């Protein structure tokens, strides 16, 4: 397995090279001038040209690419045009909000999805089962940004229970941090929770038909123990796959959620950087996100193999 | 009996335990990111005195307060602005959001008052020689910077030297400055090559502002951006800036306020609030929701179509800024097609200005049908020569088109949806021009693309923007021959006269000629005057919003 892991890690290099190449040329070929954005609406052409020169944008494109990519190989992703700080610092300052948002969303999706799926499976074909599955269907279909806006209206504007927007760092005030993130996390995690509930339900139903479950019941084991100790652990394998895949979806969904709730995370940084044509940040952030995505998938695959020894990492990948 | 393999293999239960511990550890490690200085909790301190009766005006010649204000000291103003400023260095960029933020911690030599006149701010007075060639600025004494040093003439000359290198207006002005001297600690003398009528206006223009900062700091920065904290003389001092999160300013207790009563942006600045926080909040609906939920005290740049929904909302106050700006649809006079004056006159004749303004700006609370080139509220307002405005005459337009050399060539018309009002205006204008037989090609791109493409004359024939109103007509964007649109010809002589004539009555007469020529040559299509819409907490009073939002006299009531 170690060899497989090393091979998967090495495969990160060509992925990042291709991503870097594509992102660089896509954004440079798209219309829009970062110098004009920096200089403002009333700037003269001279001032804009002055800034273009300072930013190195008047050099040939291939020269800019070579300069950027050789520095990127050394871990230097350049300096943000707009923020006037190293790209890695800019991303680093925003990792915490995005990381916590994704984590809270994942935890919420598990805390909601698993119990809902289990209850639906145990009460199969009852009104609880039908209600849960209809709600899950709704959860899958409802766009997270719409749900977010609705939650702001009800919980922040009308009820004033939670803040509408903003962020407090975790170490400064964990409770306030949670208050700022609970709505975004819920709106982001609900879709995954709904998906998880449906998968847990169907795999529970499959496992509950197994002989060993019948045996456990026949031996007089309490129904709760049958479900939780005997059926659930084996039903979790497909759910683990969903949880693993959902990391990528949550990271992507965080971009929209951060815009709706004004959370100062990596997602909002990427969106704002695109609008203000902050090339170094766009390039750097996309590389970092691609690397994180690959690494997270690898971790999930390893976890999957550990959870089910019948699976090999090569077949899993 | 356990086998070696069983001992090596990890059970699912053990794996889940390890995973839970590892996740918790990773979370704590992630949260151990060194965070900048802790952000103080957002909130308002209780008022320390009975609230004053003054309230944020929503009407009147300008939105703001003239005369003494009696506010309540204390609290933190949480201001949701449209986005992160491209810089906190006032010399660096013309971006409005930078102008708005920097004007709280930096000050210029001159400033606007409520009647849109330029008056001294850091200057004590301005003396002009009889030939107009020598301008002597006497500075105020004992004005401290935030670092404790006193502002002197050397700081002024150093700041203006830097400003002249980075700012278009500064460059233009200093091309006419033969020499700038500081003969003593509180005097700066400018020897001009020729009379320069907009001397104070250029030095007080709120766009890439000629702010005065310490000599050592500006000289060390040179052409590079100033490092934070930015040091100025303003009523608030720079405390902290976390990009895309907040800019924190705190009251400067040693601030040397002017003794005259508050008069718009000029006069006494009271600095009632203990702290001001600018919170970049790009999404408009989030800004409004934040005020409604009590998380923000102010939300700028709300779409006017929200006015009817919000005006009766008891959780908030609405604020309409007057005067503000004018929607301008620029015509590219470097493009051979658009050099045809008859064609441009045909475009003007076709337009029903109200039909273009109403969908974009909602109610008449937000737009004024005015063809004048300067606002009604200021000293330059005149209706002379504006007969061509709002003709609503498609028949006349078609006739003019027949008389032109137009043969059906495509007219590329750039607009964007980032500023929805611009897009909505463009849709109506586009339709009207198509109606008279023009082959319009509306191209909807993002704002950054509009800004990039408009600098290239080969890439457009028309584009949409807004122009603010500077204090002096010679500084309007379309008067600048270098600004995209590139109006030259007969206007060059009038521009030169306006720049070099000192007598105000004569200048006004020249400006009337400019306005006549504006409607004869139609360099741009001016739709009218429009107003910005902002939303505030009911507790926030005394904001002044022209030419950009100012909070140094604002305060929070209980």
The predicted pLDDT at position B48 comes to 26
- For residue B90, the chain A residue with the least C-alpha distance is A39
- The answer to whether the Cβ–Cβ distance between A42 and B283 falls below 8 Å is no
Among residues B510, B485, B486, the alpha carbon closest in space to that of B500 is found at: B510
What is the average pLDDT across B196-218? 93
Q: Are A40 and B86 in contact (CB under 8 A)?
A: yes
B452 vs B245, which has greater pLDDT? B245
Interface check for B282 against chain A (CB to CB < 8 A): the answer is: yes
Q: Express as a percent the part of chain B with pLDDT over 90.
A: 73
What is the average pLDDT across B408-423? 93
- Where in B75-157 does DSSP place strands (E)? 76-81, 110-112, 118-120, 123-128, 134-139
Mean pLDDT, rounded, of chain B: 87
Give CA separation, B120 vs B126, B241, B260, B500, B543, in Å. Answer: 8, 30, 11, 21, 21
From A19's Cα to the closest Cα of chain B, the distance in A is: 24
Q: Are B541 and B56 in contact (CB under 8 A)?
A: yes
Please state, in angstroms and rounded to a whole number, the distance separating the CA atoms of residues B302 and B121.
Answer: 31
Hey, CA dihedral for B338, B340, B341, B345, is it positive or negative?
negative
- For residue A34, the chain B residue with the least C-alpha distance is B448
From A225's Cα to the closest Cα of chain B, the distance in A is: 15
Give CA separation, A295 vs A109, A210, B10, B29, in Å. Answer: 21, 35, 22, 17
Assess whether pLDDT exceeds 50 at residue B538: yes
Residue A79 burial class via C-beta count within 10 angstroms: exposed 0-12, middle 13-18, buried 19 and up? middle
Chain B residue numbers touching A93 (CB-CB < 8 A)? 33, 36, 242-243
Q: How many CB atoms lie within 10 A of CB A175?
A: 9
Assess whether pLDDT exceeds 70 at residue B54: no
Assess whether pLDDT exceeds 80 at residue B4: no
The predicted pLDDT at position A313 comes to 54
3-state SS class at A312: coil
Hey, CA dihedral for B534, B540, B544, B550, is it positive or negative?
negative
- The answer to whether the Cβ–Cβ distance between B451 and A96 falls below 8 Å is no
Interface check for B175 against chain A (CB to CB < 8 A): the answer is: no
Interface check for B27 against chain A (CB to CB < 8 A): the answer is: yes
pLDDT band with cut points at 50, 70 and 90 for residue B517: very high
Chain A interface, mutation test: which of B295, B334, B446, most A Cβ atoms within 10 Å? B295
Q: CA angle A153-A157-A162, nearest 5°?
A: 95
- The answer to whether the Cβ–Cβ distance between A39 and B418 falls below 8 Å is no
- For residue A158, the chain B residue with the least C-alpha distance is B293
Please state, in angstroms and rounded to a whole number, the distance separating the CA atoms of residues A203 and B485.
Answer: 67
Interface check for B33 against chain A (CB to CB < 8 A): the answer is: yes
Assess whether pLDDT exceeds 90 at residue A234: no
pLDDT band with cut points at 50, 70 and 90 for residue B22: low
A139 vs B392, which has greater pLDDT? B392
B295 vs A209, which has greater pLDDT? B295
Interface check for B136 against chain A (CB to CB < 8 A): the answer is: no
pLDDT band with cut points at 50, 70 and 90 for residue A9: confident
Chain B interface, mutation test: which of A42, A88, A97, A145, most B Cβ atoms within 10 Å? A42
- For residue B91, the chain A residue with the least C-alpha distance is A39
Assess whether pLDDT exceeds 90 at residue A34: no
| Chain B stretch 178-217, residues whose beta carbon is closer than 8 A to a beta carbon of chain A | 207-208
Query: Which H or E element spans position B517?
Result: helix B504-521
Cα dihedral value B209, B215, B221, B223, nearest 10: 50
3-state SS class at B324: strand
Global confidence as pTM: 0.84
Chain B interface, mutation test: which of A158, A165, A228, most B Cβ atoms within 10 Å? A165
What is the average pLDDT across A272-280? 91
The predicted pLDDT at position B146 comes to 98
**CB proximity list for B436: less than 8 A, separation 6 or greater:** B346, B350, B394, B397, B398, B401
Please state, in angstroms and rounded to a whole number, the distance separating the CA atoms of residues B154 and B159.
Answer: 8
B14 vs A260, which has greater pLDDT? A260
pLDDT band with cut points at 50, 70 and 90 for residue B19: low
Assess whether pLDDT exceeds 90 at residue B442: yes
What is the average pLDDT across A213-226? 85
pLDDT band with cut points at 50, 70 and 90 for residue A232: confident
Please state, in angstroms and rounded to a whole number, the distance separating the CA atoms of residues A192 and A105.
Answer: 9
- The answer to whether the Cβ–Cβ distance between B208 and A103 falls below 8 Å is no
Point out the residue among B168, B243, B453 whose CB comes nearest to the CB of A43. B168
The predicted pLDDT at position A48 comes to 85
Read off the DSSP letter of residue B47. P
Strands B367-368 and B529-537, sheet pairing: antiparallel
- The answer to whether the Cβ–Cβ distance between B452 and A32 falls below 8 Å is yes
Range scoring the smallest mean pLDDT among A14-18, A206-210, A239-243, B99-103: A239-243
- For residue B418, the chain A residue with the least C-alpha distance is A275
- The answer to whether the Cβ–Cβ distance between A41 and B96 falls below 8 Å is yes
The predicted pLDDT at position A213 comes to 83
pLDDT band with cut points at 50, 70 and 90 for residue A244: confident
B338-377 confidence digits (pLDDT tens): 999 999 999 999 999 999 999 999 889 999 999 999 988 8
Phi, psi of B550 (to 5 degrees): -130, 135
Point out the residue among B243, B448, B455 whose CB comes nearest to the CB of A45. B455
The predicted pLDDT at position B3 comes to 40
Scanning the structure block, which residue is given the tokens 């700037």? A43
Point out the residue among A95, A176, A307 whose CB comes nearest to the CB of B33. A95
- The answer to whether the Cβ–Cβ distance between A260 and B283 falls below 8 Å is yes
Chain B residue numbers touching A255 (CB-CB < 8 A)? none
- The answer to whether the Cβ–Cβ distance between A272 and B295 falls below 8 Å is no
- The answer to whether the Cβ–Cβ distance between B93 and A38 falls below 8 Å is yes
Please state, in angstroms and rounded to a whole number, the distance separating the CA atoms of residues B298 and B289.
Answer: 11
The predicted pLDDT at position B352 comes to 97
Point out the residue among A42, A163, A233 whose CB comes nearest to the CB of B293. A163
The predicted pLDDT at position A311 comes to 64
Assess whether pLDDT exceeds 60 at residue B23: no
- The answer to whether the Cβ–Cβ distance between A40 and B207 falls below 8 Å is yes
CA A222 centroid distance within chain: 39
pLDDT band with cut points at 50, 70 and 90 for residue B439: very high
The predicted pLDDT at position A35 comes to 86
Among residues B280, B314, B311, B313, the alpha carbon closest in space to that of B296 is found at: B280
Assess whether pLDDT exceeds 70 at residue B436: yes
Cis amide bond preceding B323, omega within 30:
yes
Please state, in angstroms and rounded to a whole number, the distance separating the CA atoms of residues A32 and A37.
Answer: 8
Q: How many CB atoms lie within 10 A of CB A49?
A: 15
- In A61-86, which residue ranges form alpha helices assigned H by DSSP? 61-73
Please state, in angstroms and rounded to a whole number, the distance separating the CA atoms of residues B243 and B86.
Answer: 10
Q: How many CB atoms lie within 10 A of CB B483?
A: 20
Q: Express as a percent the part of chain B with pLDDT over 70.
A: 87
The predicted pLDDT at position A11 comes to 81
């Amino acid at each position: 397995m170690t060899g497989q892991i090393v091979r998967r890690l090495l495969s990160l290099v060509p992925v990042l090279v291709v991503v870097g190449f594509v992102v660089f040329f896509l954004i440079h070929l798209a219309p829009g001038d970062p110098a004009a954005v920096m200089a403002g609406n009333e700037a003269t052409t001279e001032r804009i040209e002055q800034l273009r020169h300072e930013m190195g944008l008047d050099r040939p494109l291939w020269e800019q690419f070579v300069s950027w990519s050789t520095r990127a190989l050394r871990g230097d992703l350049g300096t943000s045009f707009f923020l006037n700080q190293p790209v890695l610092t800019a991303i680093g300052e925003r990792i915490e909000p995005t990381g916590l948002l994704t984590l809270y969303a994942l935890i919420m999706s598990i805390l909601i999805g698993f119990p809902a799926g289990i209850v639906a499976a145990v009460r199969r074909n009852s009104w609880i089962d039908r209600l849960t599955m209809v709600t899950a269907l709704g959860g899958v279909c409802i766009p997270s940004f719409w749900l977010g806006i609705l939650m702001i209206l009800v919980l922040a504007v009308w009820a004033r229970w939670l803040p509408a927007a903003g962020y407090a760092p975790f170490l400064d005030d964990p409770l306030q941090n949670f208050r700022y993130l609970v709505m975004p996390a819920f709106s982001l995690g609900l879709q995954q929770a709904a998906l998880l509930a449906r998968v847990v339900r169907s795999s529970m139903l499959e496992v509950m038909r197994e002989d060993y479950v019948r045996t456990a019941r026949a031996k007089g084991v309490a129904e709760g123990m049958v479900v939780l100790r005997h059926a659930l652990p084996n039903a979790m394998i497909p759910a683990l796959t969903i949880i693993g895949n959902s990391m990528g979806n949550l990271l992507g969904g965080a971009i929209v959620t951060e815009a709706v709730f004004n959370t100062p995370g990596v997602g909002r940084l990427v969106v704002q950087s695109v609008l203000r044509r902050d090339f170094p940040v766009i390039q750097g952030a996309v590389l970092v996100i691609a690397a994180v995505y690959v690494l997270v998938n690898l971790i999930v695959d390893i976890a999957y193999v550990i959870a089910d020894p019948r699976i090999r990492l090569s077949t899993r990948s | 009996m356990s086998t070696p393999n069983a001992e090596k293999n990890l059970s699912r239960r053990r794996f889940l335990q390890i995973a839970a511990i590892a996740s918790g550890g990773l979370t704590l490690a992630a949260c151990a990111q060194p965070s900048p200085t802790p952000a103080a909790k957002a909130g308002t301190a209780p008022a320390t005195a009975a609230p004053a009766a003054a309230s944020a005006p929503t009407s009147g010649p300008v939105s703001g307060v003239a005369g003494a204000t009696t506010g309540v000291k204390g609290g933190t103003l949480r201001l949701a602005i449209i986005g992160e400023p491209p810089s906190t260095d006032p010399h660096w960029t013309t971006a409005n959001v930078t102008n708005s933020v920097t004007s709280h911690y930096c000050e210029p030599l001159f400033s606007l008052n409520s009647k849109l006149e330029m008056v001294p701010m850091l200057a004590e007075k301005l003396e002009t020689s009889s030939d107009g060639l020598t301008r002597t600025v006497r500075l105020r004494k004992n004005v401290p910077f935030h670092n404790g040093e006193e502002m002197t003439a050397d700081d002024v000359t150093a700041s203006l030297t830097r400003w002249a290198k980075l700012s278009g207006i500064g460059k233009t002005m200093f091309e006419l400055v033969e020499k700038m001297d500081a003969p003593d600690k509180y005097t700066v003398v400018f020897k001009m090559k020729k009379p320069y009528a907009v001397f104070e206006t250029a030095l007080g223009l709120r766009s890439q502002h000629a702010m005065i900062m310490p000599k050592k700091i500006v000289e060390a920065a040179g052409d590079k951006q100033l490092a934070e904290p930015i040091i100025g003389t303003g009523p608030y001092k720079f405390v902290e800036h976390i990009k895309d999160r907040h800019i924190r300013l705190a009251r400067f207790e040693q601030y040397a306020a002017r003794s005259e009563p508050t008069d718009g942006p000029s006069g006494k600045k009271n600095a009632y609030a203990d702290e001001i926080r600018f919170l970049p909040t790009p999404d408009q609906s989030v800004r409004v929701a934040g005020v409604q939920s009590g998380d923000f005290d102010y939300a700028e740049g709300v779409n006017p179509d929200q006015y009817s929904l919000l005006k009766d909302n008891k959780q908030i106050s609405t604020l309409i800024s007057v005067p503000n700006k004018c929607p301008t649809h620029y015509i590219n006079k470097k493009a051979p097609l658009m050099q045809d004056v008859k064609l441009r006159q045909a475009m003007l004749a076709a337009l029903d200005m109200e039909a273009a303004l109403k969908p974009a700006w909602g109610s008449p609370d937000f737009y004024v049908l005015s063809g004048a080139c300067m606002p009604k509220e200021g000293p330059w307002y005149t209706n002379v020569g504006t007969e061509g405005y709002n003709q609503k005459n498609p028949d006349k337009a078609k006739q003019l088109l027949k008389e032109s050399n137009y043969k059906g060539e495509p007219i590329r018309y750039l607009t964007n949806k980032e500023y929805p009002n611009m897009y909505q205006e463009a849709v109506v204008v586009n339709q009207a021009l198509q109606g008279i037989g023009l082959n319009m090609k509306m191209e909807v791109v993002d704002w950054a693309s509009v800004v990039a493409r408009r600098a290239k004359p080969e890439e457009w024939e028309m584009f949409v923007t807004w122009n603010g109103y500077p204090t002096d007509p010679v500084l309007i964007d379309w008067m600048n021959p270098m600004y995209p649109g590139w109006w030259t010809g007969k206007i060059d002589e009038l521009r030169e006269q306006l720049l070099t004539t000192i007598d105000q009555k004569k200048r006004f007469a020249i400006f009337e000629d400019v306005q006549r020529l504006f409607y004869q040559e139609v360099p741009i299509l001016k739709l009218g005057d429009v107003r910005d819409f902002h939303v505030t907490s009911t507790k926030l009073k005394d904001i002044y919003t022209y030419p950009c939002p100012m909070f140094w006299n604002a305060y929070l009531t209980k």
